[in-house]
Structure 1
Amino acid sequence: MIAANNPKLTSWIAVPADSDFPIQNLPFGIIKKGDNTPKAASIIGDQVINLDALHQLGYFSSITLPEGIFNHHTLNGFIALGKSTTNAVRERLSEIFQKDNAELRDNAEGKSSVLTPVGEVDLLMPVHVGDYTDFYSSEQHATNVGTMFRDPDNALLPNWKHIPVGYHGRASSIVVSGTDLRRPKGQTMEPEASKPSFGPTKRLDFELEMAFVTGKVNELGNSITPDEADEYIFGFTLFNDWSARDIQKWEYVPLGPFLAKNFGSSISPWIVTMEALEPFKVAGPVQEPEVLPYLKYTGKSHFDINLEVFIQPEGSTETCVARSNFRHMYWNVRQQLAHHTVNGCNINVGDMYASGTISGPTPDAYGSMLELAWKGTKPLMMPDGTERKFIHDGDEVTMRGYGEKDGVRIGFGEVRTKILPAK
């Protein structure tokens, strides 16, 4: 067992029963308080931990760390130090904040410079994303989309069960939770129309996804095997891959989505490490037909992470529209990274890889409005009496995720985004 994951650990920081951030989590993020410069941080309960302040006070003296490593706008430099270092920092945090450890607990001045209520800081983009890849790895989602738009008897394309299908997306428009997005504009082809029209999308959709961040570089020409992937995956965030379905339908042949996707994707601000998620690893589905050798892996490579989506119309209350689970993936993250690099593609620290829409086997577990409202034929009712086929201006969409085992809940916080009218 990883020492910091011990379910018996408790902290001298109060942790609410439904908190995503017990002492067993210790994710990493970037915070900004007032006019101060951004700092690397972690969190327990409702208290954010200023890692730069801890470093300056000497609490990381047992770990070799560059001066000012936590005094940056992103975590990229810290992550690039490697897992032996980043895991050592997480383990040291676990020691410092355990209930019976007095070294900071009884240091009133030190606590005041290290701890801040989360409501008093801004949570920023945790990493600089140089490259972003979006996969398409949920069999139920791919089957639902294929059923709607192609042939229900041949919903999956011939390659789908042989390769983790993916495409390179736009990294510059990935934004952190709390960032509003504008309704995108583009070309659409209305039913029965003879030519396309231009304007705001009428079918704005969310996509419930998880994303992993790489923390290690492979050189151009070198590939990563599935069993090596854990060395390269630093951690995970929640990911909302916004989509304009009507724009996408018109533009995606032959090269795939473009304007329908690149206007924005939203992530949660904390990166939960691969190590913190170790207790939630589970076996994946039997893959038939058998995968090619370069995609074979050993051990458990799926994660039992509960996922929820809420819609809050402007001026109303939020309602849960979907409950899914990360374990519903057909292709796992190890296979995704192995396939991504099998041709020698090089990856970098901070690169982000989204899972693709995560849909479960029942209609309430579908991970997009396209599926939940079944292409607009089964609208969802909101608490204010309005209905939703797709997302309206003023709607706020929130995604939450957590794993729970042995009385410990490890969560990701939330990714929350409000949709503003098109300019």
Structure 2
Amino acid sequence: MSLNLLILDIKRLLGHGKAGVLALVAPLAALLVFAAIIVPLLAGSGSLAAPYAICNEDQSEPVELFINLLANSESLRDISTAYPVDDIMAGFDLLEQGKVSVVVHIGEDFYQRLLKGENAQVSLYAYPSHAFEQTMISLTLNHALAAVGQSQNLLEMTGQAAVAAGVAPAESARLVADGLDQAIRRHMERRSVLSRQGALSPTGDYLPVEYYLAALFSLGAALAMLPSLHLTAFDLQGPLCRRGALAGRRGRRFLIARLVSGGLLINLTLLLLLPAAVFIHELGVYWGRGVGLGWLALLLALPLISLTLSALGLCLGSLAKQPRLSLWYGFYAVLLMAVLSGALLSEGMLPPLISELGRWTPLKPSMSIIANTLFAFDPARYLRDISRLLLLLFVYCLAGGFLYSRKGAGR
């Protein structure tokens, strides 16, 4: 691959219709959303801790234990601050006075309904201006309370089996109670299993702000592969292919130039992460605590993310039979990756097999790397995501090279 060929391909990529312009506008739109939604939340509160009042009318021991651990959990202090109240009206008074953002109400039969497998819901009340905090608390509480119910069911079955095996009922009850206490503590403190400020979120992996930022920039990067995809489909159906310019050694040079130029365009999208990161860090809130190696790890990972998405664009562009349909190929591919990766739907809403498939798309490890390096760097998780991207890059390059060469030589 010559430098002149690469420069020529970059010019074609940026000047080919409106696709290049849209790819450059996409990250700017993501920054606008970031500035309009997340920055005011951070600048206004000075932290990510959303105060909420919680009224627990259930009074069952497991739920009481859960509430106590929730209010005092070190791992959740970044997310929310709980204020227990005796009745729902006291919570509404705090909400009206502006002392809390959300009121959480746990009904009398919540735990029994949970054990029976019935629809047990937690009611949340908030003003429209606190919809973001309401959503954040709702997702966190529902996920954690569901885990409490699952742990209780398993422990009750274990206790019954122990009694049947000859263990005294009192001893069995004590073991069940101790096990439930440990299960809840493990769930509430699971962030410290990864690192002191590890991962926890509405999708099961990230804090809400981490999730939104990682999803925004990862989706922007995925959309930035569309110009390369469209130009690849155009070349394979256009005059370059008909003149034999895409066959043999010359075709391989074109292929490498397209891979690199597409990666550079995608990398421009991802580099906008850096000013956003610096801005949040200067606010003195959550971003950037204890992430000394995170910046270096991110800079090393961005080219790999970009090249992997660019290679995927080459594959899809080589598959497209008509250039005008290639952008639809790319759009639906990005949409499918977003669903599988949990960028649009919570992972808990997806079947385990579908969720596992999402881990083998470029979007999922990209989201994980962004959240991991900019919030709380975990080297083991980082290396796992990098390994997946390297494997995907290898597979996409092989598949894209085969399809590109076959179509280039077939004209």
Structure (1/2) with the larger helix percentage: 2
Q: Please report the TM-score for the alignment, with normalisation by the length of structure 2.
A: 0.23
Structure (1/2) with the larger strand percentage: 1
